[in-house]
Structure 1
Amino acid sequence: MDIQLKKRRSPISRKTITIIAIAAGVAIAAAIVVLQGGASAMRVERESLLIGDVTRGQFDDYVRILGKVQPLTSIQLSAEEGGIVDRIFVEEGTRVVKGQPIAQLRNSSLDLEILNAEANLAEKQNFLRNTQVTMEQDKLSNRTEKLQLDIDVRQKRRTFEQYKRLLDEDLISKEEYLKAQEDFQLASEKRKLVCERLRQDSIYRSIQISQLESDLQNMRLSLDLIRQRRDKLTVCASADGELGQMSLELGQTIASGQMIGRINVVNGHKMEADIDEHYIDRIATGLTGTMERGKSTYQVMVGKVYPDVRDSKFRIDMQFVGNVPANMRNGQTNYVNLRLGEPSTAIMIPRGSFFTTTGGNWIFVIGKDGKTAHRRSVKIGRQNPSFYEVIEGLQPGERVVIGGYDNFGDCTKLIIE
């Protein structure tokens, strides 16, 4: 007969073992953190680091910018009247003189407008002539009427005077005398009214004729202006210079006021450059700089600072001081070293990509053993194309990591292998 044996329980349960393992892991991690001074560390290869030395020396306060050659004076060439390009007389890059035809446009709507204006003018002229003829006829009729009334008044006066003498001699009745008197008074008053009407008609005719002549003159002026618009279909150069930025094609539709090119007046060149907005408070008119071309160095001076900032950049114009490079062409580019201040002694570090990541607020400083680098707060001042000026946080003789920060994340210590 088999005897069933009872299993003995382990003095330590599985749950207890799990808790002990977790506690041990936490203790080990805490020990590592303590040994590393509480910092998150990252192992990096020395070859992947870009290292620079902290030095004390002469800091040249300048900025290196890319300038573009532009004409000193440039005039926009626009079409004063819209139309379709019918002919092109000159090509881009050609030297032109003021008044020289550049392109010919055609505009059927404008031609129709001129025809309508001419027809309206002719109609107005005919209406004025007809009105003048009618008024002259009315004037003759009125004069005839006035003459008739003058005769009638004289006749009635003679009759009245005769009847008055006859009444004094008792040859006629008083009623006949009064009738003759009333007829004479009626004729006189009627003549006065007709004379007043003729005077008013004369004033009205003068005003009407004057208004018609004024309207006719305005129509002539309007027609002249429309004809001048047709003359403006020929686009001409507005100044002597070189024609540039012209992109016309036969059959192309050009709107009124549309730019069709530029005339670069041949009176010199300037340099135009876009600068990072970081320098906007330090750039002002009068700053000087140098431009190297070939084996020669040329002096430039800031002549204008544009107030607008676009795409984190602002624009300046620089003029040449003294000698001007020969054979310059619009659109050529050259680097210009623009001096922002006088040279001075300062603590410096080489430029690197660290500034983009840290904003110049901190940097990794390599320890004396060369095997670790710790994060340290710094304060960066001025900068030029080669160096950053260090105001606080670093001392000459130290070494810093100036590149490769994209892979460091939030770590505060580097272990260099």
Structure 2
Amino acid sequence: MDRKIEKKKWNTKRIMTIAGIAAVVILVGGSILFTSGKSKLNVDTERITISDIKKGPFQEFIPVNGIVMPITTIYLDAVEGGRVEEKYVEDGANLKKGDPIIKLSNTDLELSLANQETNVYAAQTQMQISHNNAQQNTISKLNQTADVDNAYREAERLYKLDKHLFEQKAIGSQEFQKAQNDYDYQVRRKKLTAQIMKQDTLLTRQQDAQTSEQYVQMKKTLELMRKKVSDLTVRAPIDGQLTSMDAEVGQNKNKGEHLGQIDVLSGYKVRVDIDEHYLSRIYTGLMGDFSFADKTYKLKISKVFTQVTNGRFQVDMIFVGEVPKGIRKGQTLQIRLALSDETQALLVPKGGFYQQTGGNWIFKLSEDGKTAYRVDIQLGRQNPDYYEILQGLKPGDRVVTSGYDNYGDMQELVLKK
């Protein structure tokens, strides 16, 4: 009798198939479960910088370097060209105003001075001769005028007498007519003489004025020539120290060539280089400070040089209040140049986080300090130490300010000690 053989339900093949399907389901489910949460990264707290958010005084400033310079520098240039004949002092000498420094020789200039002096003396002699001639001519005309006046008075007397006698029928008309003609002639002669004398006086005055003006002009030219010759001796224009002297005996110096400079040692200023990026924000009156010998000193911008060279421009700053003792010309100072007034602001210390976040977000620590998670923030002004926080954080918050290079797209940091 045949016996029915029952088919096995759980053979090896079926079991393996079901196990594989289950493994895939578990793997997919685990993956979905894992990716649905926040990505986390374990971080050693000793490898990061954690900073506190606090409210405090904030001032926008930039660090700049300045060179200490004399308060005033006068440049010495050759007013007239010539050969260096003598040096009276050496570089570094302290001078008083008017002290000679070097002497130049210029034969052409000295010869021109001699010729001009000769011309002035000749003009002076000629002017004296012309003046004497004019005086003699005036005296002669005055004598002529006296003769004319005398003849006029005599003719007038005879005319009046003959007129009276003619009216009395004591003399004839012929004699009276002669007296009248003589009188009329002397009247015309007197007027003509007065006119000639007046014109002669005006002409003499004009000639004297022209001659005097020419003489004065020649004397001015002479004085100018003398000054040009005296300028061959270069003298200190002010009290100060001679520096950067560039002249040796026997050298030829052209007109306008630089010879050296005088530094006024009564005070100092600071010449500062600034990046052209800040040109529109720099103006006279801005304040800065620096530390020297464990003390803080203040400076103020007194002059802005707007010319940009190699991406930088310069300003001059003067000391406000006390000047540091022991400061020297050429010394370099590290200055904090303020771009705004000091105000109260919410601050976060500067750190490497900015390079990855651009200041748009930051890792903020949880209250228990065991994790840190992303929060959006908005930053405002900055200085070399802090960023100003406009929103996203509050005083007392703790944040990670070190660099985020190794964090990728992590949403949360698990802090391990």
TM bucket, shorter chain? 0.5 to 0.7
Q: Secondary structure of the equivalent of 1:267?
A: strand
Superposed CA deviations along residues 344-399 of structure 1, whole A, max 9, x for unmatched, are 763234258939xx9x4558979xxxxxxx99976444444455455556874446
Q: Report deviation, 1:270.
A: 4.4
Residue 55 of structure 1: which of 44, 51, 63 is its match? Answer: 51
Counterpart CA distance in 2 for 1:263 and 1:211 is 45
Percent of aligned pairs with the same residue? Answer: 21
Unaligned runs of 5+ in 2: 1-34, 37-46, 365-372, 411-417
Superposed CA deviations along residues 104-145 of structure 1, whole A, max 9, x for unmatched, are 334556435534533442343233233223323423442454
Residues 89, 102 of structure 2: 8 Å contact kept = yes
Q: Report deviation, 1:300.
A: 0.9
Answering whether residue 86 of structure 2 is matched by residue 90 of structure 1, we say no
Structure 1's 338 and 351: CA in aligned 2 closer, same or farther, altered over 3 A? farther
Q: Which range moves more in the overlay, 79-88 or 299-308?
A: 79-88
Residues 68, 329 of structure 2: 8 Å contact kept = yes
Q: Secondary structure of the equivalent of 1:300?
A: strand
**RMSD (CA atoms):** 4.9
Q: Which range moves more in the overlay, 229-238 or 204-213?
A: 204-213
Residues 93, 242 of structure 1: 8 Å contact kept = yes
Q: Secondary structure of the equivalent of 1:350?
A: coil
Structure 1's 380 and 233: CA in aligned 2 closer, same or farther, altered over 3 A? farther
Amino acid at match of 2:289: G
Residue 74 of structure 1: which of 66, 72, 75 is its match? Answer: 72
Q: Which range moves more in the overlay, 92-101 or 51-60?
A: 51-60
Counterpart CA distance in 1 for 2:283 and 2:154 is 104
Quote the residue 2:301 is aligned against. Answer: 304
Answering whether residue 255 of structure 2 is matched by residue 254 of structure 1, we say yes
Counterpart CA distance in 2 for 1:148 and 1:279 is 89
Matches within 5 A, 1:144-223: 144-146=143-145, 149=148, 153=152, 174-223=173-222
Counterpart CA distance in 2 for 1:52 and 1:282 is 37
Amino acid at match of 1:300: Y
Q: Report deviation, 1:74.
A: 1.6
Counterpart CA distance in 2 for 1:100 and 1:92 is 14
Q: Report deviation, 1:301.
A: 0.3
Count of aligned residue pairs for this structure pair: 347
Amino acid at match of 2:99: Q
Quote the residue 1:332 is aligned against. Answer: 331
Residues 82, 233 of structure 1: 8 Å contact kept = yes
Residues 54, 348 of structure 1: 8 Å contact kept = no
Superposed CA deviations along residues 26-49 of structure 1, whole A, max 9, x for unmatched, are xxxxxxxxxx99xxxxxxxxxxxx
Q: Secondary structure of the equivalent of 2:234?
A: strand
Unaligned runs of 5+ in 1: 1-35, 38-50, 367-373, 405-411
Q: Report deviation, 1:254.
A: 3.4
Counterpart CA distance in 2 for 1:402 and 1:313 is 36
Quote the residue 1:22 is aligned against. Answer: none
Q: Report deviation, 1:201.
A: 1.8
Counterpart CA distance in 1 for 2:404 and 2:82 is 60
Q: Which range moves more in the overlay, 227-236 or 168-177?
A: 168-177
Counterpart CA distance in 1 for 2:404 and 2:104 is 62
Q: Report deviation, 1:299.
A: 1.8
Quote the residue 2:128 is aligned against. Answer: 129
Q: Report deviation, 1:236.
A: 1.6
Quote the residue 2:355 is aligned against. Answer: 354
Counterpart CA distance in 2 for 1:321 and 1:165 is 104
Superposed CA deviations along residues 15-35 of structure 1, whole A, max 9, x for unmatched, are xxxxxxxxxxxxxxxxxxxxx
Q: Secondary structure of the equivalent of 1:98?
A: coil
Answering whether residue 233 of structure 2 is matched by residue 240 of structure 1, we say no
Counterpart CA distance in 1 for 2:315 and 2:323 is 24
Structure 1's 351 and 83: CA in aligned 2 closer, same or farther, altered over 3 A? farther
Structure 1's 126 and 385: CA in aligned 2 closer, same or farther, altered over 3 A? same
Structure 1's 52 and 108: CA in aligned 2 closer, same or farther, altered over 3 A? farther
Provide the TM-score with structure 1 as the length reference.
0.62
Counterpart CA distance in 2 for 1:181 and 1:279 is 99
Amino acid at match of 1:299: T
Residues 71, 269 of structure 1: 8 Å contact kept = yes
